[in-house]
Amino acid sequence: MTAEDYKNGQVLLIDKPLEWTSFQVVNKLRWHIRKRFDIKKIKVGHAGTLDPLATGLLIICTGKQTKNINEYQGQIKEYTGTITLGETTPSYDLETEVNETFPTEHITEELIHKTTKQFIGKIQQKPPIFSAIKKDGKRLYELARKGETTEIKSREITISEFEITNIRANKVDFRVVCSKGTYIRSLAYDFGLALNSGAHLSALRRTKIGNFSVSDGLSIDNFIKSLEVE
């Protein structure tokens, strides 16, 4: 590809590694594209944030394709991951330490499978306090890290599939297909409540956005190598 190809617009499928922010991935790719083609300025953006503790599909748009970011963001998404039962964290995932433990002796495999049915279809979900949603000009996670509490409104989301793929003691592996705006961390937390226990998200991978699949994605290193041979 040429500099003009990237300016006219490309859709890049990247398999985001653990602990990278989506913003860091965008910055890294932009820097290498500019360097490779000696471009002073080029638009690069992502179509839907992935938390640092999540891996998987990140759609990166360049040039004129950045106009289509909202369209890609609105498509249904598929995730796989692991929910740990019997423990909650303030962030609903591993970003924060376990703050409470709950009994799990009453939870059977049958109950786990049965409980997923409560979450299929259109449901109300409250985003986690540790999220990038803005309130009064500040992101919620900024308030949360200061120890400030704030009221968060529930929002309607759609979960079309919620499948349990494996159960290992208190670790529950799953696959979810859901609408834009779904927080899998909140789903994990709410799932724990529905089981009369507690839970948090201990692993997450985005596998699909619309018709785009992570199996077609490149690692950051492999994308950079592909630039060098162009």
Q: Is 51 a catalytic residue?
A: yes
Q: Are 28 and 16 in contact (CB under 8 A)?
A: no
* The length of the chain, given as a count of residues: 230
d(CA 124, CA 158): 9
Q: Which of 5, 15, 38, 51 is catalytic?
A: 51
d(CA 62, CA 212): 16
**Radius of gyration (C-alpha) of the chain in whole angstroms:** 19
Q: How far is CA 24 from CA 16, 68, 118, 128, 189, in A?
A: 10, 21, 36, 22, 28
Q: Are 10 and 1 in contact (CB under 8 A)?
A: yes
Q: Is the dihedral of CA 47, 15, 17, 112 positive or negative?
A: positive
Residue 218 burial by CB count (10 A; 0-12/13-18/19+): exposed, middle or buried? middle
> Catalytic positions, please?
51
